[in-house]
Structure 1
């Protein structure tokens, strides 16, 4: 009897050990990917027009735009709050107990009123206070830090820090055949807008600002002037040109590198640190509160932007997953209230893209040096740019070659001329002529 009990106990021990080992192996090698980090870039919510135009019947800011030009509205606050509740559900696995912790979440905003306010509304929806975080039973809200720096110093999110190389690249693009042909093609439209709106149209940015003002006034159910009936239509050239402006800032590889490239590098470097377990603090969620142009620039730089205006409270989700010993990233674009997002097809990389492959594909738009080094122009170009002279590197090399060769050519010609004159003197030596 004793030996039977021993055998049974031994069998139970062996079976339990084997079952535990199987569970460990299953957890080490799983077919289920694990989300370990997420970056979210979102646009601010509904706002008033940035500015009016001279002939605008609704240009009185105090009378018609209570919050002020460019400011977030109550509708916008609610849109961002709802975005926060969506993020809370989407990233429940990253938030632990659901409470806010500086060691787990970081919220960054451009230094603009509407994005700062939007970030606060997102944070309110994302982190409603619970238990000991409730400091006032009548106000279920808690303060969450929103980080920002002045626009003129921000080269990562706002891209407002002056960059000589970018400014030169933009000037070259605006002088390109592609751009000048586009502007010439639509001159009649520009003349019509100038005459009726009372503003000067010199660029796509001018077109976009006017179009956006009219769009918001229509959205707010304000009647538009009769002249807009001719041009302010869905699918019109006016609309198309306004949307084209979202491509302008990143329309060349160099321009993309010097605008959104620093943001892309910021995200990838943080992903790499997460994989290497060197991210301090070891956060899981980083939120950027920004603009429609921020989303458009990111998508356009990686070849995924389709002409449109990214809606209020739209969001880009760049997520890092771990599958066994491997890691990959996915990108999602939420441009509506849809909660069932599908990963975008990253060009040449697919839906699941490793960091190494992504860096390789987009190496030309990812800066490798500091902002100062990337933006610095060669000395000779700094001088020429200061004189408002735009000259290509090829032309400069040609000019320098000419400058260097000119003295040599003069010396050679002088020697040849001297040689000929000497021969003439020798030939006339019998006549007692001497060449000196």
Structure 2
């Protein structure tokens, strides 16, 4: 019998196939010369149990809050990424050698335990030691560098470096008629969840945070309270939890300031590589991050169908050389093979030059300049909003 979570994956998979094609990465689309890989971490414990949570004591869990899981009869957080690393090795045999070299691959992670550990587990599958790289016959593993930086300084991957212009744009969106009406529509759900969880629930994001706790507890066969049966696992709560992933990049400006700097770096690296195979010298660039990062990237590119990105969800952005540099984007959201995504106004294989034109509105300039909050701009934007509301 198919479980609810399996049905979710099937539905999402079928929806995405409408816009893409399965396994469309043959030589007819050009020679593969470079790939960016961005993935979500593996299975973890809840980050922040709710006040009335019967499973809210650490003694019920194998590791601390928000940590990558080890070995369990239900899920294997580390094993998931070890398996993904082996899969990536098979997919990118033509880009990397059978031995690890800093000249082949670069790995960056957000500065969070579960993403750092996921990257390390992934690399264990991607580059098992062989020949002269075996340093201990009893340990079939080798240390490989994973680069990171404190979240409060990271505008690229964690996207948590202070950006006043983004904070203002997000607050403005949350005051928009569309978002206000969304909250009104689900006020009954907010009230119900607040009453039963003991935590104030008043937005799609707070719904998702609670849904995520229930999902993990369900996965680990923890008996959920009776009150959850009215709202979990399907229905409005699930939809609103999925909708939360679109909030942070809902408008072009939000997308530009939240994930535009990452997209800009990816595109620039594609350009550099297409002009010179030695710049960068690596052929595979890996980012270890979160479900929000996966969703932000896909949504900014116009490729996100509402869903909850699962553990090890993986976005593959590949550069192929034909007459001109061509880009393909794939999404691997389960253990199945990835499927090509249809790039808006271009197709499943898009010239890099056209990609810049399609996404010009979300490719930012200098971080400090873009994130500076101008009082004059605030006044002008607020006047536009008021004029728009008065005309209705």
Higher relative contact order (CA 8 A, sep 6+): 2
CA distance change for structure 1 residues 394 and 309 in 2, over 3 Å: closer, same or farther?
closer
- Mark the runs of 5 or more structure 1 residues left unpaired by the alignment: 1-29, 382-389, 399-436
Q: 2:326 & 2:52 partners in 1: Cα distance?
A: 53
Q: 1:225 & 1:187 partners in 2: Cα distance?
A: 21
- Residue of structure 1 in register with 2:361 after alignment: 364
- Contact in 1 for aligned 2:109/2:148 (Cα 8 Å): yes
CA distance change for structure 1 residues 167 and 232 in 2, over 3 Å: closer, same or farther?
same
377, 383, 386: which one aligns with 1:395:
383
Deviations 1:22-69 (A, max 9, x none): xxxxxxxx95721000000011000001110111000111x1123111
Q: 1:342 & 1:176 partners in 2: Cα distance?
A: 35
- Residue of structure 2 in register with 1:92 after alignment: 93
* Cα drift, residue 275 of structure 1: 1.1
Question: How does the TM-score come out when normalised to structure 1?
Answer: 0.79
CA distance change for structure 1 residues 56 and 360 in 2, over 3 Å: closer, same or farther?
same
62, 65, 69: which one aligns with 1:69:
65
* Cα drift, residue 103 of structure 1: 1.3
Equivalence map 1:8-407=2 (5 Å): 33-61=30-58, 63-74=59-70, 75-96=76-97, 98-234=98-234, 236-277=235-276, 279-323=278-322, 325-339=323-337, 341-367=338-364, 369-380=365-376, 391-393=379-381, 395=383
- Mark the runs of 5 or more structure 2 residues left unpaired by the alignment: 1-26, 71-75, 387-392
Q: 1:392 & 1:189 partners in 2: Cα distance?
A: 36
* Cα drift, residue 285 of structure 1: 0.3
* Cα drift, residue 233 of structure 1: 3.2
Q: 2:101 & 2:290 partners in 1: Cα distance?
A: 26
CA RMSD of aligned residues (A): 1.7
Partner of 1:108, secondary structure, is strand
Q: 1:32 & 1:217 partners in 2: Cα distance?
A: 44
Q: 2:184 & 2:278 partners in 1: Cα distance?
A: 51
- Residue of structure 2 in register with 1:4 after alignment: none
- Contact in 2 for aligned 1:128/1:140 (Cα 8 Å): yes
Partner of 1:317, secondary structure, is strand
Question: How does the TM-score come out when normalised to structure 2?
Answer: 0.87
* Number of corresponding residues: 355
- Contact in 2 for aligned 1:152/1:161 (Cα 8 Å): yes
Q: 1:130 & 1:217 partners in 2: Cα distance?
A: 39
- Contact in 1 for aligned 2:62/2:69 (Cα 8 Å): no
Bigger share in helix: 1
Partner of 1:38, secondary structure, is strand
Q: 2:28 & 2:232 partners in 1: Cα distance?
A: 52
Q: 2:122 & 2:261 partners in 1: Cα distance?
A: 24
Partner of 2:215, secondary structure, is helix
CA distance change for structure 1 residues 115 and 258 in 2, over 3 Å: closer, same or farther?
same
Q: 2:91 & 2:277 partners in 1: Cα distance?
A: 25
CA distance change for structure 1 residues 379 and 181 in 2, over 3 Å: closer, same or farther?
closer
Q: 1:397 & 1:280 partners in 2: Cα distance?
A: 45
Q: 1:397 & 1:314 partners in 2: Cα distance?
A: 37
CA distance change for structure 1 residues 31 and 119 in 2, over 3 Å: closer, same or farther?
closer
Which one has the largest radius of gyration? 1
- Contact in 2 for aligned 1:260/1:301 (Cα 8 Å): yes
Partner of 1:332, secondary structure, is strand
Partner of 2:310, secondary structure, is coil
